[in-house]
Structures are given as structure tokens and as C-alpha cells.
Amino acid sequence: MAGRNSALGRFTDGGLAAGLAVALGLWGLAAGAAGALLADSGIFDSLHAGTTAYVVRIAGFTLWQAALSTLLSLILAIPLARALHRRRFPGRTLVIRLLGLCFIMPAIAVVLGIVTVHGGNGWVNGLLRAAGGDGGSYLYGLTGILLAHVFFNMPLAAWALLQALDGVPGEQWRLAAQLRLGEAACFRLVEWPALRRALPGLAGLIFILCFTSFAVVLALGGGPGATTLEVAIYTALRFDFDTGGAALMALAQVALCGLCVAALTATGSGRATAELATGLGRRPSSAGGGLPALLQDILALAGAALLLLPPLAAILLAGLTPALPQLLASSGMLTALGTSLAVALPAGLLALLAGMALLAASRGLLLGRRQPAAAGLLEQSGALILVFPPFVLAAGLFLLLRESADVFALGPVLVILVNACMALPLVVRIVGPAYHQAGRERQRLCHSLGLSGLARFRLADWPVVRRPLALALALACCLSLGDFGVVALFGSQDFTTLPLFIHRSMGAYRMDNAAAAVLLLTVCCGLLLGLGRLLGGKAHHA
Amino acid sequence: MTRTSPFFHRIARFFALLLFITAPAWATRADDGLPRLTVYTYDSFISEWGPGPAVTEAFEARCNCRLNWVAVDSSLGLMGRLLLEGGASRADVVLGLDAALAAEAAQSGLFTPHGQDTARLALPAPWTDPLFLPFDYGYFAFIYDSRRLTEPPRSLRELVFAPAGGPTVIIQDPRSSTPGLGLLLWIRKVFGAEAPAAWRSLAPRIITATKSWSEAYGMFLNGEGDMVLSYTSSAAYHRIAEGVSHYRAAPFTEGHYMQTEVAAKLKTAAQPELADRFMAFLLSPEFQEAIPTGNWMYPVISLPDGLPAGFQEDSLPAALPPHDAATVARMRRDWTREWLDATAR
Amino acid sequence: MLELRGVRFRAGDTECRYDLTLKAGEMLLVTGPSGAGKTTLLNLIAGFLFPLSGDIRFNGQALTRLPPQERPVTMLFQEHNLFPHLDALDNAGLGLYPAPAARRRAAARAALEEAGLAGLEKRLPGELSGGQRQRVALARALLRDKPLLLLDEPFAGLDPDSRANMLEALNRLRATRRPAVILVSHAPEDLLSSADFLATVDTGHLRLAQGRLPS
């Protein structure tokens, strides 16, 4: 039925070609970059005993901090998600929005907030000293890394787990109420199955994010005892120009991270896809409750507030000084903002286009050619870039292209390209479900009406996919706006983005500059998101 | 069939849009007809409070050209950037490399002899390298606040082997910062094969190893540590520029390790004659006068008016002959690895 | 005896008002167009919704403000009656919760047999047909042994054979335990013989169509 000559097959060929091109392009870029670096410095030079032991030690620490961060984030997120699910209180929507904000904040902004709160002269130490004690310098090192990672990922996890809990059919809650299931039984029978379905994928994602985390480890690692592969690669490329070592570490990172994620997602069970709930989705307040549950929830909410609010407040307060307008207008901050936008917007657009191409090809393979395995592989190519260090990509490509292009212009173009690659998996993940659902539901209708390609996209897909598309574009731009790392490889006083500006200001201990720039960056991200929501229109119920 | 072409039209339009949006990156600077000399340096050199502005004015008046500074955020990053750009680099001159890394830099094959006469240089030791030209130097020292630390250690050995409860230090990472590298070499020079033990003894009292000098110094000024690795001239800076005298450099009996900063001319320079004139300019009084209170380092020639007041209050510390560049080139990676092993907790 | 007097509720734009009386052993069949308020009626009796005004009494005891777990009610929903990761035996056994597991399993085995599902104890809901799932829920209702049984479209989506099996199981339960039953169905034709009353709900108002007058 579905073969090369079937009408259905022909419909999807345009998208298929584009998607294949994108996937091949990604693999090609990665391989090319790694190859260029390996070729530049002989691979055998780098492989002496000292290096291997060093790499093994760093890889071990990277694994360790990623695993700890993931575990902590998930453990803290579960009570928070349950509390948000169980209780309706004024401001609940605001709290949920705040969770989203925490996740998309630029890493460098969060670092500033955390240093202000937990640094040697921070708020916590100030309070402790007033009470006669002294926390000392507890921030730099594993503690600081964990604090920052939990700040980012616990809200993400709580949000995703809340979604999972919301997906439980209302009938099950009512059943639990009727059967007088206590708190523990309620958790075991109703909540846990829903959570457990979401956890493996979530753990995998958080693990990758913490494994490849850069700005946090760079700023809060505090020295060689707490270095990850990503930071080591950056140091090797920027200062030593040890290209062979960097390439080797990149390969180690891809292999390790890929293995861990594969292991995590394999343990997840894919049984029982959630059916549409017919009954009331809301959980009756009497189900599995009582005083212990109330106490748990209050504790969870208070704990989350204590963890998340101070750094956010620090960012706001540090930036909102009377000197703010003057700081904004001077010292190159606005130029940096302009450069940031000039990089972020094209990067976001590119990521969107590439992501859509991948999805179109994947859907074509899935629905038209009945090849779910190939479709899955195609979409995972997008994820490859999540684990591949962006510095290696940028440096390798630079090495390949430096003879044929002006080095001053090549830098910015590569920053845009690599940022787009980094945002690609995000686009696929956000737009994917809606796009596939629209495809499944309208496949036969479009076929019978003779709709394909752009017409099909405009009529059948766009209404469903518009909102996630706008959100994905906004998030991709935000991600690129807050990127610090790749731009450091090519930065100079003429090519400075806001995160680079912040990093330099912090490095020069001009904290007032840094704080003002951080506030500016955060506000811009918020505006981008708002714009994305606006462009997305109202939620469409197919 | 036209089924796929609208798709490709759309792609083409987007890429056009893309190029348009990235136009600022492609834009060339306004051209006023004068030849441009491109100099790569580190960014504190050309900041408004560094020597850059004065130097730019002086040279541009002389040469009837424009100085195009490209600032990278650290001295070690300079070398990395040059290696990354390779033969395609647009630099004519690089200003601000550390002499300790001269041999390694020479291996890159990017540089060509500066051709300047180094006999008249007033350095503690004669300078013979034909490829790299020194333009300033300084001595590393630990700076402390005399109000906070009343009895500073009198030698490096005393600092390193102090018992628990001894002074805490903020240092820099030797892989990304030249003072950090300097400390690595200093400890190696003083303790030799005992260096790993020395690091292990110091490690618990290291607050953190920052990526750059300014970060470490800022932390010190903020009260996060008792001593910070910096230059002897930092004390002079506080005295001259701020009028405070409680920040002092702790003199060590073994001697202080010296850092020399050098400049070099690129083989692929597009403006070789201008580059030669710039190299000569580096040894001229107009350039060197900007060094003490601009870069807070010592000049390499004897200035006609001598050093500024305030610089002379520090008796020049006992100098320690530095490692020769060839040794550093050979051993740096191993020594850094030792440091990593000794300080990784 | 179940009594609803002047029970008022507001569902969206519809003002609902219910009055009825039902004795033990009797079955009230409720039918009407979608969205008319049939499920709302069941939810009010079960305690998942609270009325704006009016009285719900069972054997003289006021139920109106009691939470669902305190009411002598078992309710079967249209779908999602079973926990998807527990097998049929455990699902049915929950009817006796919080009794010890051994006792629950033994009783559930007997109940499943009575519902005609012997041999299917270890199956997960995903491995059972729609009709079999509903009968597991009925087995659980049997174990719960509450005097009030509410069924919301229990036969929806079942083929005629399954309907017949389900109806047979329901009638067996009614014969042994004699609960008061309210059954909501779109297509009540084959149930008329088993029911005592037929009522329609139209825009929130209950109207008796056949049988004895309620009060």
C-alpha cells in the first residue's frame, strides 16, 4: 500500500528530502568538526597516560554531579507537583508561571543571583553572621553546582510531573475518594503510575542538561576539583588550543551521555497511553487528604519558595538600582543587546525551519511510508546535538572554513549556526507532539481532499501547531540570547553579546554593570516569551 | 509539478531574510582611507583606564594611520585565538603574550622576527629573543590587607606550609590566567620536586582558583580571602590612585617571580612596515611612559623622568630568575597536571 | 430509601432540580439527551458535587454535606473504572479496602467468579474487553455491598452479547444484595424489563415517564 509509487508517498517527498538533508547536515557538521579538530593535532599526541587519567577523572565528576543533580531535582519536584495538584489557592497560576520562568532563565543570570544569595558575602552568610555564625565559603564547588542545577531543573520537573498528574482521568480520583483510599494508597495507586510514566524521559532530559551544563560549572565550580567535560573542552580549546584533546573529550562526552540516556529511557515503560479523560479532571479535595497531606504540601511549597525566590529576587534587586538608566545607556550594554538580538533571532528562525523540516520528514516516514523506526531515528538526530559540545562544533567548523572566509565575519555566523543547532531539539520536542497529532487525525481527510505540502500545512496543521510553533520560536531565541560559551570562543570588543558582557563584567568585578545587564537580559527573555504567547493565539481545540 | 517549489521558494526567502538580519555582522567599518594596523591584545590594555587610549593617540599621530585594536578577554586567550585563526588571521601585531610561553608560541610558526635592538633595554637580565619584544614587566606578589592580616608570612615557604588556620588565599587558574601560571612556575622554582607537596599543603586554604586576575582581585577586595595573588604594583595602584595604604605586598625572602609581557609581529601581517614601526614605537618613551600608571607594570627602558612617585616606595623586590622558556614549553602540561592532581579535593 | 427533595444545582447555564424517592431493591432508569444533567444527578448523590439547596437523605440520614467516602454509595463510571496497572483480582479486591490483602484476594476471586469472569484474575485491564472490564467493576461493587448503586452509562460501547452478560451480572447482584439502583443510559430499551421506573432528564429536570409515581 505505502510504497514509492503510492500517491500518499509522493505527497510527503518534499518534506522528506528537506528533513533528510537537515539530519544528514547535523551528523555531517558534528563529524566534520570532530574530524577537523582531530586532524589539526595528531590524535596520538593527546593519548598519553596523563591525559587519559585526567579525562577519566573529569568524566567521573561530570557523571557524578549530573546524577546527583537529576536525583535531587526529581526528589524535590515530586512533593511540589503533588502539592500544586492537590491545592487550589489564590496565585496558583502565578506560581506555575514562575516555574516556567525559572527554567528559561539564562544560566549566567542565575549564577549572579545565586552568588548574591549564597556567596561568601551573600545574603545567607549575612544572616548567619548577624546570628553569630558563619557559613564560610560553601558555594564554590559541588554545592554551588547542585544549587544552580536544582534551581533550573526542579521547576521543569515539577511542571512536567504536574502535567502528568493532570492527565490522570477524573474517574480515578473519584474512585479513590469512594474507596476511601488513604494518602499512601492514593499515591501508590493513582499518582505514582502517572508519575512513573513521566519520570524516565524527564530524568533523561535533566541528566543531559546537567551533564552538558557549562556556564554554571564554569562560574561556580571553583577550580579543578569540580570541572566537567564541557568546561575542560572549553579550556582546552580557548587557552591551550589542544584540539586533539578537545575532540577526544567530546567523543567521550557523546558516548557517555548517549549511553546514560539510552539506559534511562529504556527503563521507562510505554504501556497504557493516557486516554482522554471523560469525567471531571479536577481532583475532589477530599481524596487522600487530611492534616498530614496538608503539612506535606505546605512544606513542599515553602521549600520551593525558599529555594527559588531568593535568587530571582537577588537578580531583580541587584539590577534595580538608581544608577540603572545611566548604566544601561553607557558602557556598551546596548550594543551588546543589539548584537545579542542580531544573533538570537536568526538562530531561532533557523532552528525552527530545521526542526520543521525534520518533523515533516519524520511524519512522512511515519504516516506515509509506515516506517516508525526510521522516523524515530530522524527525530533523534536532532537530539544528537544536545550531547555534542557546541565548542567543538564551532571550533571544528571554524578550522574547516577559516581559509575560505573572513575570520571576523565567520565568527558571528558560526555562533548563529551553532546556537540554531542547540535549539533544534527544543523545537522538535515542543512542536512534535502537536504536529504528529494533527497528522494522525487529518491524514485520511487530507489524502481524500488532495491536500499536500504547503496547502496541507496551512489548512490542517497550522491551527493546531501555531501555538507550539510560536512558543518554540520564542524559546529558541531565548536560549540563544542567553547562550554563553560558543560566543566566548569568537568574542572580541567588537563582537560582544549580553551574556559575554555579563561574564566580562563579573570577571572584572564590575558587579553593578553585571547586575544591570542581567536584569536587561532577563527582561528581554520575558518579553520574547510574551511575544511568543501573543503570536501563538488562543489554544485551539481540534 | 509545482508541489515542491513553493516550499523551496519559502526556504530561499528565509535565507535571504537571514542574511539580511545578519548584515550587521558583515558590515565593514567606515573607511577613511588611512592604512589600518591590526593589533590583537587583551581587553584591559585598551580599556579607558588602561594605557590604550594614550598609546593610540601617540602612535596614530606619528604614523598617519589607524590603529585597529582587537581585544580578547585574556592573555592566554590571545594565543588560543591566534592558533584558532591560524594563517587566516588578520592580525599584524600581537601585544600581551606572556614571555614564559614564548617557546611554545614560537613553535606555532606564526611569528616573524621583530628586528629591534634589545641592547638598550633596562631589564634585570639581558633579553635575546629575536621573535618576541618585551614591553613591560612586573613581579608577582601576594597582596594583603594590613588591617585584617597583621603578621603576613615572610616567605613563600611560610605561606605554603602554614598550619591550618593560616592565611587563606585567592589564586587564579594557571590554565587561563597568567598570574596563575606565574604562581605555578614560582612554586616550581622555589620548591622544585617538592612542588606537589607544597600545593597539597596550600590546597585547603585556597578559597578558589578564578579564571582571571580581576575576578580574584575583586573577590579579595570584597573580603573573601586574606591574601590574593597579584603584582607588587597593585600596592602602588592603591597608594597612587586611591590614596589608601593598607593594601600591601608581602615581600618573600626567596624572591619574587618575574613576568615579562611581550609583543610579536605576525608572519602573515598585511601591513609589515607599519608593524615594524609599531614595534619600534613600543620601545619609545611615549609608549613606555603610559605603562606604569596605565598598565601598573614596570617599563622596559629607563624613563627620562624616572618612575612615578609612589612606585619607588616599594624597594624593588629580590628578583628570582625565571625558568627559561624552553623548560616551560616542555614541562608546563605536566606541571599543570600535577597542580590539578594536588588541588583537586 | 433514597430521597431527594428540592435538590438544586447549576451546571453551566442549566438550572437543575431533582426530586425523587427510591426504595431498596428498586431500579430507576434515567435517560435523556446528552448534557441534560443525568451525570450531574449521579454526581450529586455520590457526593462529587454539592447542591445549592435541597436535601438528600438515605434512610432518614442526611447525606447532603457528607464527603463521598462517607456516603453509602458505589458509583460505576462510563470509563476508567479500573486502575490500569492492577490486575482484575486486585481491582475487584479494592472493594474491601482497607481489609488485609489476603482476605481481599479471596473475596475477589469469589466475586469475579460470580460475575462470570473466572480464569481472568491475572489479566490487566488493557487485556480485557470493554464488557469484561465493566463486570470487574461490578464485582468490586458486589464486594463493597453498599445499599446505593449508581451506574453511569455502563453499557456504552458494548456489543449486544456483552450487554446481555453485563445485565445478567447486574441482575444477579440486585437479587443477592438488593441495593437501590439508579442507572443512566442512552439506549434503555433492553433494560426496561429489569427496571421499576423510567425517568427522563431534560434540561436539568427529572420527569417520570413510566411506572409508579416516585412520591
What's the CA gap between A245 and B236, in Å, rounded?
Answer: 41
Q: Over range B265-283, report the average pLDDT.
A: 91
For residue A155, what pLDDT is reported? 93
**Of A181, A272, A286, which is closest to C84 when you measure between CB atoms?**
A272
Task: Check if B221 contacts A (Cβ < 8 Å).
Answer: yes
Three-state DSSP at B77 gives helix
Q: What ipTM score was computed for the predicted complex, to two decimals?
A: 0.78
Which residues touch A322 (CB under 8 Å, ≥6 apart)?
none
Amino acid at B56: T
Task: Output the pLDDT for position B21.
Answer: 53
Place of cell 479486591: C93
Q: Do A150 and A7 sit in the same domain of this protein? A: no
**Between chain A and chain C, how many beta carbons pairs sit less than 8 Å apart?**
71
Residue of A nearest to B20 (CA): A346
Q: Is C95 on the interface with A (CB under 8 A)?
A: yes
> Does residue A429 form part of some domain?
yes
Residue C7 one-letter amino acid: V
Of all residues in chain A, the one with the smallest CA distance to C39 is A279
Classify residue A454: in a domain, yes or no. yes
- Which has the minimum average pLDDT: A110-119, A266-275, A288-297, B244-253? A266-275
Chain A residues closer than 8 Å to B85 by CB:
402, 407
Element (H, E) at A252: helix A243-267
CA angle C202, C203, C208 (to 5 degrees): 30
Q: Is position A93 within any domain?
A: yes
From A194's Cα to the closest Cα of chain C, the distance in A is 10
Let me know whether A238 and A154 are in one domain.
yes
Provide the angle, in degrees to the nearest 10, between the axes of the packed helices A192-211 and A49-86. Answer: 140
Average confidence score pLDDT of chain B: 83
Give B25 or A401, the one with higher predicted confidence.
A401
| C24 CB-near residues (< 8 Å, 6+ apart) | C1, C147, C178, C179, C180
Size of the A and B interface in Cβ pairs below 8 Å: 150
In this model, does residue C82 exceed pLDDT 90? no
To probe the interface with A, which of B83, B104, B224 has the most A CB atoms within 10 Å? B83
Question: C97 in contact with A at a CB cutoff of 8 Å?
Answer: yes
Reported as a pLDDT band with limits 50, 70 and 90, residue C214 is very low
Sheet strands (E) in chain C: 2-11, 14-22, 27-31, 53-58, 61-62, 73-76, 148-152, 180-184, 197-202, 205-210
Beta carbons of A174 and C75 less than 8 Å apart: yes
Is the pLDDT at A266 greater than 80, yes or no? no
Neighbours of chain B (3+ CB pairs under 8 A): A
For A454-478, how does the pLDDT look when each residue is reduced to its tens digit (9 = 90+)? 767 776 777 778 888 888 999 899 9
The answer to whether the CB atoms of A178 and C81 lie below 8 A apart is: no
Q: Are residues A187 and A298 in the same domain?
A: yes
Same domain, A223 and A303: yes
Tell whether omega for the bond before C98 is within 30 degrees of 0, i.e. cis. Answer: yes
CA-wise closest residue to A522 among A537, A539, A502: A502
> What count of other Cβ atoms lies within 10 Å of the Cβ of residue A2?
14
A partners (3+ CB pairs within 8 A) are B, C
Q: Are strands B319-320 and B256-266 parallel, antiparallel or unpaired?
A: parallel
Euclidean distance between CA atoms C172 and B195, whole angstroms: 90
Question: What is the tally of structural domains in chain A?
Answer: 2
Run of H or E residues at C130 = helix C130-144
Assess contact for A450 and B63: CB atoms under 8 A: no
Asked if A193 and A53 sit in the same domain, the reply is yes
Q: Please check whether residues A356 and A476 belong to one and the same domain.
A: yes
Write the pLDDT tens digit of every residue in A81-139. Answer: 999 988 888 888 888 888 888 888 888 888 888 988 887 778 888 888 888 877 667 88
**Average pLDDT for residues C157-165, to the nearest whole number?**
85
Do residue A243 and residue A365 come from a single domain?
no
Co-location of A287 and A386 in the same domain: no
Q: Report CA-CA distances (Å) from B205 to A339, B41, B163, B316.
A: 41, 33, 10, 28
Q: Is the pLDDT of residue B5 over 70?
A: no
Altogether, the residues listed in chain A come to a count of 542
* CB pair distance less than 8 Å for A13 and B222: no
Please give the full DSSP string across A371-422, using - where no structure is assigned.
-HHHHHHHHHHHHHHHHS-HHHHHHHHHHHHTTTS-HHHHHHHHHHHHHHHH
Cell numbers representing residue A163 in the block: 502535567
Indicate yes or no: CB of B223 within 8 angstroms of CB of A121. yes
Q: Is A56 on the interface with C (CB under 8 A)?
A: no
Q: What is the mean pLDDT of residues B11-17?
A: 58
Length of chain C: 215
Place A153 in a pLDDT band, splitting at 50, 70 and 90. Answer: very high
More confident residue, A377 or A542: A377
Least confident of A387-391, B47-51, B173-177: B47-51
Q: What is the DSSP string of A477-506?
A: HHHHHT--SHHHHH-BTTB--HHHHHHHHH
- B contact residues 226-255, partner A, Cβ 8 Å cutoff: none
| Domain range for A163 | 44-126+134-273+281-307
List phi, psi (to 5°) of C75.
-120, 130
Nearest CA to B207 out of A11, A223, A16 is that of A223
**Arithmetic mean of pLDDT over chain A:** 81
Tell me which residue in B6, B14, B214 faces A509 most closely, judged by beta carbons: B214
C50 reaches A (C-beta below 8 A): no
CA distance A96 to chain B (A): 35
Among candidate residues A287, A279, A278, A291, the one with its CA nearest the CA of residue A86: A287
How many C-alpha atoms does B279 have within 13 Å on its Cβ side?
A: 27
Q: How far apart are CA A254 and CA B225, in angstroms?
A: 39
Closest chain B residue by Cα to residue A402:
B88
Distance from CA of A455 to the nearest CA of C (A): 36
Residue A370, helix vs strand vs coil: coil
Q: What is the DSSP string of B118-152?
A: -TT---SS----SS-EEEEEEEEEEEEETTT-SS-
Please give the residue of chain B at the shortest CA–CA distance from A120. B224
10 Å Cβ neighbour count for B34? Answer: 11
Q: Tell me the nearest-neighbour CA distance from C65 into chain A, angstroms.
A: 12
Q: What band does A1 get if pLDDT is binned at 50, 70 and 90? A: very low
- Chain A residues in contact with B222 by the CB 8 A cut-off are 120-121, 509
What average pLDDT is seen over chain C? 85
Give the nearest chain A residue to B68 (CA atoms).
A494
Chain B residues with CB under 8 Å of A349 CB are: 14, 17-18
pLDDT at C191: 81
A238:B176 CB<8 A: yes
Q: What pLDDT score was predicted for residue A48?
A: 58
Q: What secondary structure letter does DSSP report for B311?
A: T
> Does A179 contact C at CB distance below 8 Å?
yes
Say which range, A208-217, A264-273, B138-147, B266-275, has the weakest mean pLDDT: A264-273
Question: What pLDDT score does A148 carry?
Answer: 94
Neighboring chain A residues of B345 at a CB cutoff of 8 Å: 141, 225
Task: Look at residue A533 in the predicted model and tell me its pLDDT.
Answer: 80
Q: In chain B, what residues touch A345 (CB-CB under 8 Å)?
A: 21
Residue with the bigger pLDDT between C8 and A375: it is C8
Whether the predicted pLDDT of B3 surpasses 50: no
Task: Please name the amino acid found at residue B126.
Answer: P
Of the given ranges (A262-276, A364-378, C23-37, C113-127), which has the lowest mean pLDDT?
A: A262-276
pTM for this model (two decimals) = 0.80
> What residues of A are in contact with residue C150 (Cβ under 8 Å)?
none
Which pLDDT tens digit goes with each residue over A330-374? 768 888 898 999 999 999 999 999 998 888 888 888 877 777 777
Question: Per-residue confidence at B345, pLDDT binned at 50, 70, 90?
Answer: low
Among C65, C80, C123, C138, pick the best mutation site for testing chain A contact (most A Cβ within 10 A).
Answer: C80
Q: What is residue B14's predicted lDDT score, i.e. its pLDDT? A: 59
Q: Are residues A33 and A64 in the same domain?
A: no
Q: Which chain A residue's Cα is nearest to B214?
A: A508
Same-domain pairing of A158 and A170 = yes
How many Å apart are CA B314 and CA B13, to the nearest integer?
A: 66
Top residue of C43, C44, C48 to mutate, by most chain A CBs within 10 Å, is: C48
Beta strands in C47-100 (DSSP E): 53-58, 61-62, 73-76
- The 10 Å Cβ neighbour count of residue A25 is 15
The confidence score (pLDDT) of residue B244 equals: 86
Indicate whether A189 belongs to any domain: yes
Shortest distance between the Cα of A92 and any Cα of chain C, in A, equals 23
> Which segment of A205-214, B18-27, B166-175, C53-62 scores lowest on mean pLDDT?
B18-27
Q: Check residue A541 and give its pLDDT.
A: 43
Q: Which of C70, C116, C69, C72 is nearest to C92 (CA)?
A: C116
Q: Name the closest residue on chain A to residue C144, using Cα atoms.
A: A179
Domains in chain B, start-ordered, CATH in brackets? 36-137+260-299 (3.40.190.10), 139-258+318-343 (3.40.190.10)
What residue has cell string 462529587? Answer: C48
Q: Is residue A313 part of a domain?
A: no
- Percent pLDDT > 90 in chain C is 12
Mean pLDDT, to the nearest integer, of A143-150?
93
For residue B27, the model assigns a pLDDT of 45
Where residue A80 sits, what CATH number does that domain have?
1.10.3720.10
User: B294 with B168: CB under 8 angstroms?
Assistant: no
Show residues of chain A in contact with C94, CB under 8 Å.
179
The pLDDT-based confidence of A280 (bands split at 50, 70, 90) is: very low
Report residue C117's pLDDT band, with 50, 70 and 90 as the boundaries: confident
**Candidate from A355-359, A538-542, B181-185 with smallest mean pLDDT:** A538-542
Beta pairing class for B256-266 and B93-98: antiparallel
Residue A505: which pLDDT band, with cuts at 50, 70 and 90? confident
Residues A53, A31, single domain; the answer is no
Distance CA B165, CA A252 (A): 41
Least CB–CB distance from B71: residue in A238, A349, A493: A493
Q: What is the mean pLDDT of residues A253-269?
A: 75
Determine the pLDDT at residue B186. 93
Q: Is C182 helix (H, G, I), strand (E, B) or coil?
A: strand
Q: Does the CA dihedral B302-B303-B309-B311 come out positive or negative?
A: negative
Say whether pLDDT at A271 is over 50: no
For residue A292, being part of any structural domain is answered with yes
Chains contacting chain C through 3 or more C-beta pairs under 8 A? A
- Domain check: are A264 and A338 in the same one? no
Whether A172 and A277 have beta carbons less than 8 Å apart is answered as no
- pLDDT at residue A269 is higher than 50: no
Band of residue B198 on the pLDDT scale cut at 50, 70, 90: very high
Query: CA C215, CA C213: separation in Å to the nearest integer?
Result: 6
* pLDDT for B187 beyond 80: yes
C abuts B (3+ Cβ pairs < 8 Å): no
Assess if residue A150 is contained within a domain: yes
Report DSSP letters for A301-348, one per residue.
HHHHHHHHHHHHHHHHHHH--TTHHHHHHSTTHHHHHHHHHHHHHHHH
Assess if residue A315 is contained within a domain: no
CA distances from B207 to A38, A136, A138, B344, C64 (A): 36, 10, 10, 13, 67
3-state helix, strand, coil split of chain B in percent (to 5) is: 45, 20, 35
